[in-house]
Amino acid sequence: AASSQHLEDPVKATPADIQAALNLASAYLQARQMDLGLAVLDTIRQQPRVEPAALRALLQAYGSLSDTNRVQQTLSRLEELTKSD
């Protein structure tokens, strides 16, 4: 976990920093720590002010993991956000 510490600190300091969170999730997933990576991605998806671009990045991540359930949840979230525009 020490190797991911430099990626974890910015996410803890600024939870709304989507890029930092995506970097952390990517590091977890590359290290085959799927539960941790998915938890970070899920946290991004559930943020109240998440940007549509961030959700599109999540779609790619979940799609690459063949996680159709999370792809569907992310699509629903994206629809909610784009409807309110």
Q: Is 32 left (phi over 0), alpha (psi -120 to 50) or beta?
A: left
pLDDT, residue 23, reads: 92
Q: Both tokens of residue 56?
A: 């599109």
pLDDT, residue 58, reads: 94
70: amino acid identity, one letter:
R
Q: Express each pLDDT in 20-41 by its tens digit.
A: 999 999 999 999 999 999 999 9
pLDDT, residue 1, reads: 47
pLDDT, residue 82, reads: 84
Q: Is 11 exposed, middle or buried (0-12, 13-18, 19+ CB in 10 A)?
A: buried
pLDDT under 70: residue ranges of the chain: 1-3, 15, 84-85
Residue (of 24, 26, 4) closest to 14 by Cα position: 24
C-alpha Rg value of the chain to the nearest Å: 13
